[in-house]
């Protein structure tokens, strides 16, 4: 049947190409018109696949050569060509091959006085020009000049023809050479004047399509630099900006507003960022012969780039993730296979034996009951940091064979109860096999507690006082909250600081201690020992006081319609109407003397505290500020993380902030994400919360550019603006704004102190050591957590020593603070008294590096370390000098593998700025090859699918986790990441990156909600639960453990099911980003304006069928009319009756073709 249907259509097309009988041709055209006017474009594509475009073109060229032209044949042919051609991607090439371009142009020129005939020619011309090559050919042959002649001067006569000509011109101007030709001939100014005429005279908005078409012409012309320059000289910015103002209130005028906004943003004169250099304000001298690159000064040139090049770069940015996943896949099986090789001499691995004391612990303390040992335990129990090995610094490894054995060891034994932590240094000699004796170590630590401070020995000048940032200056409020019983007045100091004598003590007394696992005492002590490039002397209040999750979850922000274009137009107003622009620098990290803080009606900014990032603040208007983030240290890029203080605000007034040097192509800020805010006044009134805040949030490309020199060779690097408005809750408050919930290095270290102090030492084996010293001189902690053996019996000790390892780490990227909150949840669960946690500790030994990049976190970086490197791209060949934390973490993993104890699970905690939910990236050879389209011989290539077990478990037990978002592909660009290197070189099957969204969830229990710290911490604890279930599924267990696990997990599953019963099944969810209410157009040449909408041209053609040939057009009187079937047939038959013997068989054939289409999907 299908063959008969196909053959019927082919008979029609073949007859159309060969027949010279006019009536036969008209009947075939009538049948094709009937067929293609029903259903969807699926039928047209079917006709195209059977050679319909070629048949119509051949019939057209034959009919056009007849003199005089027979329009009764030509018009239906042109209509069909327009309808079919717009859906045929190769139509332009087919037109050239049929040598029909000149014919179409010639026909148009001959019919300049016949508007009905000309309109048909213009439709086909528009379709042909959609192919840039064909459009260029048409332009060379004079099509641009012809069309400009048709559309000028302004007239409301023959509006259909004018519309068709304008839309054809817009298609032609997609060609760069045609745009150049139009500018050279002065057509851009003419188009602007024509647009003004149509805009001013279209009071009733009856000619929106014509106005939009003219805007598309301007949009394409301004894709080239000459076009933008001419547009500015012709005052195009002012013309379009003024014209769009009275359109904003009418949603039906979006087809006008959208292209105007795009043109204005694109033609806004490009400028460098208002900073002396785009390189970071902070630089750090690198060890050895490695030097940081000198700052790149911004030059005046090289900010402009052609629109096509701009569009190309935008497309590259837009598709970066899909390219990495689909086009960057590793297809070399040899490279995908595990290859356990070393990147260092094997004898060097012995150094890491000291980092695994649990494997040689003799647990003598299990039988120790003496009062002396108990007293010593009490004294040392509070010492949170007890490393028993040499702490390597960035320069300690001088050559590959350098050994750590028999070296002096740094012992760190601070007492959290004291105001200042004392970090001690003492000597320790490694004996025999480094068997750790706890009694000896306690004695060593007790002695070491009296030694000189480690940091002060290194740098005595660092013993400065770390002061808390000033509190709100409202004297009455200040007295009430801090000194309620004191009548003395509180006055600010000359420098704007409140006198801090006694304030810190009073605040510590006031702190209720009701924030779990947080101690301001511990935080201050830890913060005083931090080494930073700017040498911080201030404590931010939220980190000192602490954060408590609010008792509610915040839904994702609903995007206000038109918010992006409103912001863009507001930016354009600065250029056109600069009268109200203040332009005052109120904060400058580079030149503090140039700042003007404390000015009347002006906010005060500050960011020189741990993890802070704000480089410059410029007051634009009274309640609007442009903000510039600082680049990563020794870098000129990676602008995303921000964290700063703002004070001296008015309450209930919307302040607008524009962060103008963002770099990513898109952001979750366009899809419901909000930043976070912390109010000091709220905190001191008992509500110490980081809260999601901000409205009118959007993210879009701006007019700032970076020169090639400053952009490290990348010409015309683009920047994006994150804009948001905030109403502060109190007048003269002190508030902190951040990209995401901050989690500083000092927060992490003090958190470990609290966990160490609160753990049950009889049940929890906790060992906190120092992995290494960072480039900046800070210590990178390494944790070992497991369960104490039940006794010293051989079986219990053997079970302890043989527990499989799980290796976890986080925060290799400093700006991904959500990873630290997940890690916080993991750590708190692991040391808790929860029976599941107790069972989990009995099943695994956890090796944890909670913060891999302390220096980056401390100095407010987003992506890199002090070397300016992305540490998660250095795992293949890490440098012991430049990347010490990666070098020694990898060394420890090598050591575990060398003794046959490679981890069962490796997981690197990260944050993701482009996607929602929490998900895992893993590694699979087969899935990678399948995705790349490679043939996989499953008989030869076998693979353990156990890597999928853990994510499947997490999909069931963790509300924020989505299995469908997980990926197990191995990309070439990810070859040097921790996940891939540990999988290939260490041989860990379950090697993962866990990505947590900055935004919220699109499925399950938290669907539609933004994730807070409570949900992130929950994810960390649920990950632990998943590990326990994985152990039970994958490894042999004793009957006792299995029975205990069965009881506990049945209860857990019942609780989880009850919580998620009303939630949708995640397997039905997709990871596609829901579209915004408003189109988000980042590129300069995007089709988001609907230029390729086939329905519009189809509607024009349908409307044309109601015309009576030769009738004078009315001024839009027939606009919107549709044709009747009677009018349809009437236009395809001659004035004489067409019923003859020749046509009858064709009707029969047509019926078979019709039935074929009806049986096919439409």
The enclosing H or E element of 316 equals: helix 307-318
Residues 6+ apart with CB under 8 A from 103: 60, 61, 64
CB contact burial 738-767 (16+ within 10 A = b; e otherwise): bbbbbbbbbbbbbbbbbbbeebeeeebbbb
Q: What band does 363 get if pLDDT is binned at 50, 70 and 90?
A: confident
For residues 653-670, average pLDDT: 95
Q: What is the pLDDT of residue 1084?
A: 39
If you average pLDDT over every residue of the chain, what do you get?
79
For residues 279-292, average pLDDT: 79
In this structure, of 364-368, 609-613, 695-699, 807-811, the range with the lowest mean pLDDT score is 364-368
Q: What band does 796 get if pLDDT is binned at 50, 70 and 90?
A: confident
CA distance 806 to 1026: 12
8 Å CB contact between 915 and 1071? yes
CA distance 544 to 538: 10
Query: What's the gap between Cα 1030 and its chain centre?
Result: 31
DSSP letter string, 99-145: T-HHHHHHHHHHTTT-HHHHHHHHHHHHHHHTSHHHHHHHHHTTHHH
Q: Which residue has the tokens 């002190």?
A: 734
Q: What is the pLDDT of residue 879?
A: 94
- Cα Rg for the chain, rounded, in angstroms? 36
CA angle 1035, 1041, 1043 (to 5 degrees): 115
- The model's pTM is 0.82
Which of the 8 DSSP states describes residue 960? T
CA distance 923 to 338: 11
For residues 244-258, average pLDDT: 90
Q: What band does 509 get if pLDDT is binned at 50, 70 and 90?
A: confident
DSSP E strands, 669-716? 675-679, 690-693, 695-706
CA distance 575 to 268: 8
Burial class of residue 557, CB neighbours in 10 A (0-12, 13-18, 19+): buried
The enclosing H or E element of 378 equals: helix 371-381
Please count the CA atoms within 13 angstroms of the CA of 101 that sit on its side-chain side. 21
Q: What band does 872 get if pLDDT is binned at 50, 70 and 90?
A: very high
**Residue 1124 pLDDT > 60, yes or no?**
no
Segment 993-1045, tens digit of pLDDT:
999 999 999 999 999 999 999 999 999 999 999 999 999 888 777 777 777 77
Which of 615, 637, 635 is closest to 286 using CA atoms? 635
Q: What is the pLDDT of residue 790?
A: 86
Q: 47 versus 1057: which is more confidently predicted? A: 47
Q: What is the pLDDT of residue 420?
A: 35
**Residue 615 pLDDT > 90, yes or no?**
yes
Query: What's the gap between Cα 151 and its chain centre?
Result: 44
Q: What is the pLDDT of residue 470?
A: 83
Q: What band does 184 get if pLDDT is binned at 50, 70 and 90?
A: very high
H helix runs in 942-1088, sequence order: 949-957, 978-981, 1013-1034, 1039-1060
Residues 6+ apart with CB under 8 A from 339: 984, 985
In this structure, of 77-91, 239-253, 484-498, 699-713, the range with the lowest mean pLDDT score is 484-498
For residues 732-738, average pLDDT: 96
995 as an active site residue: the answer is yes
Q: Which residue has the tokens 């070859």?
A: 975
Q: What is the pLDDT of residue 1106?
A: 59
Taken as a whole, the chain contains a residue count of 1162
The percent of residues above 90 in pLDDT, for the chain, comes to: 53
φ/ψ (deg, to 5) at 922: -125, -165
CA distance 317 to 325: 14
* Interaxial angle between packed helices 520-527 and 745-758, expressed in degrees from 0 to 180 and rounded to the nearest 10: 130
**Residue 638 pLDDT > 50, yes or no?**
yes
Which of the 8 DSSP states describes residue 986? I
CA distance 259 to 829: 54
CA distance 267 to 307: 10
Segment 780-795, tens digit of pLDDT:
999 999 999 988 888 8
Q: Could you give the C-alpha distances from 440 to 449, 715, 788, in angstroms and in order?
A: 14, 62, 19
Which of 633, 653, 631 is closest to 278 using CA atoms? 631
In this structure, of 59-63, 533-537, 1071-1075, the range with the lowest mean pLDDT score is 1071-1075
Q: What is the pLDDT of residue 414?
A: 37
Q: What is the pLDDT of residue 711?
A: 53
Long-range Cβ pairs for the range 441-444 (8 Å, 24+): 441/386, 441/388, 442/373, 442/376, 442/377, 442/379, 442/380, 443/376, 444/411
DSSP letter string, 50-77: TTHHHHHHHHHHHHHTSSS--HHHHHHH
**Residue 1138 pLDDT > 80, yes or no?**
no
Residues 6+ apart with CB under 8 A from 440: none
CA distance 955 to 964: 9
H helix runs in 234-282, sequence order: 236-244, 254-267
**Residue 104 pLDDT > 60, yes or no?**
yes
Long-range Cβ pairs for the range 728-731 (8 Å, 24+): 728/649, 728/650, 728/651, 728/653, 728/655, 728/679, 729/651, 729/679, 729/681, 729/682, 730/472, 730/651, 730/679, 730/681, 730/682, 731/474, 731/649, 731/650, 731/651
**Residue 1087 pLDDT > 70, yes or no?**
no
Q: What is the pLDDT of residue 708?
A: 63
Which of 557, 694, 674, 698 is closest to 1008 using CA atoms? 557
Segment 441-452, tens digit of pLDDT:
343 333 333 333
8 Å CB contact between 12 and 1149? yes
CA distance 549 to 385: 28
Pairing state between β 845-849 and 905-912: unpaired
Which of 191, 183, 133 is closest to 165 using CA atoms? 191
CA distance 872 to 771: 17
In this structure, of 57-61, 442-446, 704-708, the range with the lowest mean pLDDT score is 442-446
Segment 378-424, tens digit of pLDDT:
433 443 343 344 566 655 543 333 333 333 333 333 333 333 333 22
For residues 290-296, average pLDDT: 48
**Residue 833 pLDDT > 90, yes or no?**
yes
- For CA atoms 925, 927, 931, 935, give the dihedral sign: positive
Residues 6+ apart with CB under 8 A from 625: 586, 603, 617, 618, 619, 655, 656, 657, 658
Q: Which of 995, 1015, 1091, 1100 is catalytic?
A: 995
Which of 833, 840, 752 is closest to 1024 using CA atoms? 840
8 Å CB contact between 120 and 1100? no
CA distance 282 to 590: 9
CA distance 307 to 225: 7
For residues 280-294, average pLDDT: 74
Which of 718, 703, 620 is closest to 664 using CA atoms? 718
Number of other residues whose CB lies within 10 A of the CB of residue 941: 13
8 Å CB contact between 1001 and 1011? yes
Q: What is the pLDDT of residue 482?
A: 59
CA distance 894 to 986: 7
Strand 905-912's sheet: what is its strand order?
764-773, 779-787, 845-849, 805-810, 905-912, 990-997, 918-921
Q: Could you give the C-alpha distances from 908 to 766, 806, 921, in angstroms and in order?
A: 21, 11, 10
């Amino acid at each position: 049947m299908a063959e008969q249907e196909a053959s019927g259509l082919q008979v029609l097309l073949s007859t159309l190409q060969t027949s010279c009988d006019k009536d036969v041709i008209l009947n075939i055209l009538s049948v094709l018109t009937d067929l293609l006017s029903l259903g969807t474009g699926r039928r047209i594509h079917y006709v195209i696949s059977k050679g319909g475009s070629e048949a119509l073109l051949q019939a057209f060229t034959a009919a056009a050569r007849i003199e005089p032209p027979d329009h009764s044949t030509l018009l239906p042919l042109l209509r069909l060509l327009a309808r079919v051609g717009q859906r045929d991607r190769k139509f332009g090439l087919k037109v050239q091959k049929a040598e029909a371009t000149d014919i179409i142009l010639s026909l148009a020129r001959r019919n300049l006085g016949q508007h009905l005939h000309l309109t048909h020619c213009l439709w086909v011309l528009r379709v042909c020009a959609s192919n840039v090559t064909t459009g260029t050919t048409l332009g060379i042959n004079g099509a641009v000049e012809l069309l400009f002649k048709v559309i000028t001067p302004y007239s409301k006569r023959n509006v259909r023809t004018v519309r068709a000509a304008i839309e054809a011109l817009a298609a032609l101007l997609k060609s760069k050479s045609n745009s150049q030709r139009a500018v050279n001939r002065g057509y851009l100014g003419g188009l602007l004047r024509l647009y003004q005429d149509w805009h001013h005279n279209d009071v009733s908005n009856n000619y929106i399509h014509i106005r939009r078409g003219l805007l598309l012409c301007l949009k394409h012309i301004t894709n080239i630099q000459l076009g933008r320059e001419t547009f500015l000289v012709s005052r195009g910015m002012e013309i379009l900006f003024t014209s769009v103002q009275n359109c904003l209130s009418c949603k039906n005028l979006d087809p006008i507003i959208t292209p105007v906004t795009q043109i204005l943003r694109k033609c806004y004169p490009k400028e460098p960022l208002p900073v002396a250099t785009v390189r970071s304000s902070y630089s750090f001298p690198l060890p050895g012969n490695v030097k940081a690159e000198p700052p790149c000064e911004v030059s005046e040139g090289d900010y402009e780039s052609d629109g096509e090049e701009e569009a190309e770069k935008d497309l590259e940015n837009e598709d970066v993730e899909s390219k990495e996943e689909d086009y960057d896949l590793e297809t070399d099986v040899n490279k995908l296979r595990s290859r356990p090789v070393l990147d260092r001499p094997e004898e060097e691995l012995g150094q890491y034996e000291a980092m695994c004391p649990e494997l040689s612990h003799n647990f003598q303390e299990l039988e120790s009951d003496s009062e002396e040992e108990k007293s010593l335990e009490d004294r040392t129990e509070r010492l949170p940091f007890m490393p028993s090995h040499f702490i390597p610094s960035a320069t300690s490894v001088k050559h590959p064979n350098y050994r750590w054995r028999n070296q002096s060891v740094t012992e760190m034994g601070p007492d959290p109860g004291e105001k200042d932590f004392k970090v001690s240094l003492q000597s320790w000699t490694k004996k025999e096999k480094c068997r750790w004796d706890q009694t000896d170590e306690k004695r060593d630590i007790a002695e070491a507690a009296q030694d000189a401070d480690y940091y002060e020995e290194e740098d005595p000048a660092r013993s400065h006082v770390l002061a808390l940032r000033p509190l709100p200056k409202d004297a009455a409020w200040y007295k009430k909250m801090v000194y309620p019983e004191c009548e003395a007045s509180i006055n600010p100091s000359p420098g704007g600081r409140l006198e801090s004598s006694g304030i810190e003590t009073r605040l510590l007394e006031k702190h209720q201690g009701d924030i779990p696992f947080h101690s301001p005492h511990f935080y201050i002590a830890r913060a005083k020992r931090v080494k930073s490039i700017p040498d911080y002397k201030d404590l931010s209040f939220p980190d000192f006081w602490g954060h408590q999750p609010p008792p509610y979850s915040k839904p994702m922000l609903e995007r206000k319609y038109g918010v992006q274009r409103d912001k863009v137009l507001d930016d354009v107003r600065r250029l056109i109407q600069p009268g109200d622009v203040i332009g005052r620098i109120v904060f400058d990290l580079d030149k503090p003397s140039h700042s003007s803080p404390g000015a009347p009606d002006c906010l005060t900014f500050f960011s020189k505290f741990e993890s802070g990032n704000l480089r410059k603040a410029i007051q634009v208007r009274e309640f609007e500020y442009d903000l510039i983030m600082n680049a990563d240290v020794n870098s000129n890029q990676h602008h995303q993380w921000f964290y700063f203080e703002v004070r001296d605000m008015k309450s209930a007034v919307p302040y607008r902030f524009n962060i103008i040097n963002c770099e990513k192509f898109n952001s979750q800020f366009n899809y419901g994400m909000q930043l976070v805010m912390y109010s000091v006044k709220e905190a001191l009134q008992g509500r110490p919360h980081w809260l999601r805040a901000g409205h009118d949030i959007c993210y879009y490309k701006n007019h700032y550019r970076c020169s090639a020199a400053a952009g490290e060779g990348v010409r015309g690097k683009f920047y994006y603006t994150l804009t948001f408005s905030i109403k502060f809750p109190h007048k003269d408050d002190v508030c902190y704004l951040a990209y995401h919930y901050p989690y500083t290095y000092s927060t992490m270290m003090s958190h470990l102190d609290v966990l160490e102090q609160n753990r049950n030492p009889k049940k929890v084996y906790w060992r906190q050591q120092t992995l290494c010293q960072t480039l900046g001189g800070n210590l990178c902690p390494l944790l070992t957590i497991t369960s104490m053996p039940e006794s010293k019996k051989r079986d219990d000790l053997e079970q302890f020593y043989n527990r499989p390892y799980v290796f976890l780490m986080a925060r290799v990227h400093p700006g991904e603070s959500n990873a630290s909150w997940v890690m916080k949840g993991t750590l708190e669960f692991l040391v808790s008294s929860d029976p599941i946690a107790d069972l989990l500790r009995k099943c695994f030994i956890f090796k944890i590096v909670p913060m891999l990049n302390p220096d980056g976190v401390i100095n407010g970086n987003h992506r890199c370390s002090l070397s300016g490197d992305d540490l998660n791209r250095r795992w293949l060949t890490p440098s012991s000098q430049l990347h010490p934390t990666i070098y020694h973490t990898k060394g420890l993993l090598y050591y575990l593998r060398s003794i046959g104890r490679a981890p069962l699970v490796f997981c690197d905690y990260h944050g993701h700025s482009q996607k929602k939910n929490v998900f895992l990236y893993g590694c699979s050879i087969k899935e990678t090859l399948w995705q790349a389209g490679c043939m996989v011989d499953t008989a030869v290539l076998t693979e353990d699918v156990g890597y999928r077990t853990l994510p499947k478990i997490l999909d069931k037990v963790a509300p924020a986790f989505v299995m469908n978002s997980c990926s197990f592909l191995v990309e070439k660009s990810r070859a040097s990441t921790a996940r891939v290197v540990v999988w290939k070189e260490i041989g860990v099957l379950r090697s993962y990156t866990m990505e947590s969204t900055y935004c919220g969830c699109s499925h399950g229990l938290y669907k539609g909600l933004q994730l807070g710290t409570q949900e992130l911490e929950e994810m960390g604890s649920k990950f632990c639960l998943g590990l326990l279930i994985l152990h039970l599924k994958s490894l042999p267990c004793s009957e006792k453990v299995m029975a205990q696990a069965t009881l506990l997990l049945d209860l857990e599953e019942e609780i989880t099911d009850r919580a998620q019963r009303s939630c949708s099944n995640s397997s039905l969810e997709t990871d596609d980003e829901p579209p915004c209410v408003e189109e988000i157009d980042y590129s300069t040449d995007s089709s988001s304006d609907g230029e390729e909408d086939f329905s519009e041209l189809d509607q024009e053609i349908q409307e044309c069928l109601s015309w009576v040939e030769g009738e004078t057009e009315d001024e839009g009187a027939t606009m919107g009319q549709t044709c009747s079937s009677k009018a349809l047939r009437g236009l395809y038959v001659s004035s004489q009756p067409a019923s003859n013997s020749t046509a009858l068989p064709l009707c029969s054939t047509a019926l078979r073709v019709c039935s074929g289409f009806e049986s096919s999907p439409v």
